[in-house]
Amino acid sequence: MMLHHMKTSGVWPEKHLMSLATFYVRLETHTIRQRAHGDRTVIIYQHRVRREWFDALKRNNSFNIDLINDALMETIHNEVLDEVREKSLREVRV
């Protein structure tokens, strides 16, 4: 829906819409989703990178959002796994 409304607004250049659409397709099919907590990893990655991209566009300093940064994806996945471990440890202590 977001892409639809961006397109109908007439404000967004086609190249930005296509990059964002490709970004979402690549996230949907990313192999990390097959791993434990992969969906959560992708959601957090999407949130961070999309926000950074919108902010960069405002500064006229954009980047190609549809290129997935696998190193960042791995970093976020490790953060998610650490969060899950911490939650498990807290539950064991209670």
Is 73 buried (19+), middle (13-18) or exposed (0-12) by CB count in 10 A?
A: buried
Per-residue confidence (pLDDT) for residue 15, from 0 to 100? 93
Average pLDDT over residues 70-86: 97
The model's pTM: 0.88
Give the range of the structural domain holding residue 50, as residue numbers without chain letter. 2-93
The conformational region for residue 40 under phi > 0 = left, psi -120 to 50 = alpha, else beta, is alpha
- Number of folded domains that form the chain: 1
Give tens-digit pLDDT for 16-65.
Answer: 999 999 999 999 999 999 999 999 999 999 999 999 999 999 999 989 99
**Is pLDDT above 90 for 5?**
yes
Per-residue confidence (pLDDT) for residue 94, from 0 to 100? 64
Please say whether the dihedral angle defined by the alpha carbons of residues 70, 65, 79 and 77, taken in this order, is positive or negative. negative
